[in-house]
Amino acid sequence: MTIFREKSIILAPLSGYTDIPFRNSARRHGCRYAFTEMIDAGAVVYNIQKTGRFFERSKNEEWLGTQLIGADIEFLAKATKILSSLNFDILDFNLGCPVRKVLKKGEGAALGKNPDRAAAALATIVENSKVPVTAKIRILHDSDPEPSISLARKLQDAGAKAITVHGRTLKNLYTGPVIYDIISEIRSALDIPVIANGGIKNLESYETAIGESGCSSVMIATGAMGNPWIFDEMKNGKGFSPPTLSELADEIEQHVAEIIAHYGSVHGFRIARKITLDYLSGRGFGGELKKKASAISSMGDLKEISDSVRKGTSPRYWKWLESNENAPRRLRSS
């Protein structure tokens, strides 16, 4: 069974981010495979009101996956049945989340450290799912591939149709080197597709990921925050043309407008603040503009910010780009 096409660039499930407006932005720049935000099994079962928005899928989304997290077998079974009644193409099981509140419940990366329990949980999901089930894990050791291979094999045997591997251990969270050699060892040991994840921010890091892991597909997480052009960059390679200041401002305006249309003004502008800051980050914009973005509360505020973006960024940024031509999140002057 083919879950992802060869050389796929997949948008990861990002808590607090990968809603419809975020996915729309990514899809405008070539993203085909995208996920909803991660969904807690207990929240699905108890029908907590705020989780309803996780299930939404726009009419123009050709492909959409969702991701479940949990450790309680009963909740996982019930939540899977509920999700199977909805419109998703695959169901992914999170065994890599390092957030403390998740670990305290024995979920995410905590469950991933117990391969037998993790496999039993995934088998329950497979048994109750009407769509293919995949898994997302972290490597379990910095230098020894065997523990990670053992986990991945157990998940494959439990019914996983593909596995995404984040190449850092739990203790390293999202920092430090990504151990693509271990991802490569896992890929060689399995009969199902393995997707490389971790540290992919630009074309250079993408080429490193596929070159060292041997995987044909990757999953991008934080590299897509404020930078939907990363999908264009991966697709076009050396022919990629970074956005101009005007194109950056246009994308900010469209993304925020969709957020407000989707959530309404009160909740929407709270979300728009972090989204706008992500677009400004790493592109040479000063603290004063970022301060305004962190307090955005009206479309008038948004226009002030986008007008400032069109006027230009720091002259030092352009100078810095001259010696950092492979930097992530690049702009072009015209």
Neighbours of 104 (CB within 10 A): 9
For the chain, the average pLDDT equals 94
Mean pLDDT, range 258-276, rounded to an integer: 95
Mean pLDDT of 237-248: 95
For residue 49, pLDDT over 60 is answered with no
Alpha carbon of 278 to those of 226, 227, 271: distances in Å? 4, 8, 11
The active-site residue, picked from 97, 102, 149, 183, is 97
What confidence score (pLDDT) does residue 210 get? 96
DSSP structure class, residue 15 = T
Average pLDDT over residues 295-313: 95
Residue with the larger pLDDT of the pair 6 and 190: 190
Per-residue pLDDT of 63-107, as tens digits, reads 999 999 999 999 999 999 999 999 999 999 999 999 899 999 999
**Most confidently predicted of 32-46, 149-163, 318-332:** 149-163
Residues 310 and 333 sit within 8 Å (Cβ to Cβ) = no
- DSSP for 165-200 reads EESS-GGGTT-S---HHHHHHHHHH-SS-EEEESS-
The closest of 301, 259, 305, 302 to 285, measured between CA atoms, is 305
Residue positions counted in the chain: 334
DSSP secondary structure string for all residues of 88-108: -SEEEEEE----HHHHTTT-T
**What does the alpha-carbon distance between residue 285 and residue 308 come to, in Å, rounded to a whole number?**
9
Report pLDDT for 50: 62
The band of 326, judged by pLDDT with boundaries at 50, 70 and 90, is: confident
- pLDDT for 177 beyond 90: no
Q: How high is the pLDDT of residue 48? A: 60
Does the annotation mark 97 as catalytic?
yes
Mean pLDDT of 273-300: 95
**Per-residue pLDDT at 230 exceeds 70:** yes
pLDDT of residue 110: 95
pTM of the entire predicted model? 0.94
Which residues is 6 bridged to in the sheet? none
